[in-house]
Amino acid sequence: MVEKVVLVTGAQQGIGAACALAFAAAGHDVAVNWLDDRAAAEVVAAGIRAAGRRAALIEGDVGSVAGCQAMVQATLEALGRIDVLVNNAGIFPRVPFLDMTEAEWDRVLGVNLKGSAFCAQAAARAMVAAGHGGAIVNLASSAVRGTPVGVHYSATKNGVVGITRSMALALAPQGIRVNAIAPGTTDTAQPRYGNTEAELQEMARALPLGRMGKPEEIADLAVYLASEKAGWVTGQVWHINGGGYMP
């Protein structure tokens, strides 16, 4: 892949941090969006620089349109351009449907769906203004198939699939490709909000491949989807789940 500038949202930890490091290892400069743990983001940035690439720390909350626009602008000011956006930031507060509150619904929809849409819009505007194409990779989830403790969450991840398909059609004339990754349970902090280790290990053993995913495995797929090697791929949802289901 030609050297590019990549903005990864939610990159202070988990899959986002793995994406940031994977793009650096692939030869790209990375803007590390962080929300509330600068020290963790600094560790990620150090790893990017150790790979010989530029890193920028971009504080920001994807939950507001202004936040999305500000982090793209900060990326342009720090690294000069934006070629790839990884819409990784996301939350999954597990709650039984009958207990779900309006506030929880609004928060999850704001971060996971509105945040992904308006970060993509801000990044695409910058790509078009600069006269070059680009790539957007959205994080959906195996929860697109439904989860009893995530009616709000699965709504957002199915929404991410919908915006991926529509943005792919809207942005193809500008040479911007848009794809989504739908991971199964991946070994980060996120599935541990609401599951014990024993429950997670039981879920993992039940998968055909017998384990949870590694954040690095999701990251490698994101690097591929953002690269020229995926130059004819857009509007697609890539399921990576240890064989947990076949779409």
Ligand X SMILES: NC(=O)C1=CN([C@@H]2O[C@H](COP(=O)(O)OP(=O)(O)OC[C@H]3O[C@@H](n4cnc5c(N)ncnc54)[C@H](O)[C@@H]3O)[C@@H](O)[C@H]2O)C=CC1
**Full strand arrangement of the beta sheet holding 237-240:** 55-59, 29-34, 5-8, 84-87, 134-139, 176-183, 237-240
Question: Known catalytic residue: 166?
Answer: no
Q: Which of residues 141-200 bind ligand LFPNKLMZ (CB under 6 A)?
A: 141-143, 147, 184-185, 190-191
Residues that bind ligand X (CB under 6 A): 9-10, 12-16, 33, 35, 61-63, 88-92, 111, 139, 141-142, 183, 185-186, 188-191
Select 73 or 195, whichever has its Cβ closest to ligand LFPNKLMZ.
195
CA distance 202 to 192: 13
Is 157 considered catalytic here? yes
* Contacting residues for 132 by C-beta, under 8 A, at least 6 apart: 81, 83, 175
Residue 117 interacting entry, from ligand X, ligand LFPNKLMZ, none, C-beta within 5 to 8 Å by type: none
Per DSSP, 168 falls in state: H
Q: How far is the CB of 181 from ligand LFPNKLMZ (least distance, A)?
A: 11
The nearest distance, CB 132 to ligand X, in angstroms, is: 26
Catalytic residue list contains 154: no
CA distances 138 to 43, 75, 84, 116, 195, Å, are: 24, 18, 11, 7, 24
Catalytic residue among 4, 114, 116, 141: 141
Q: Which residues are catalytic?
A: 141, 153, 157
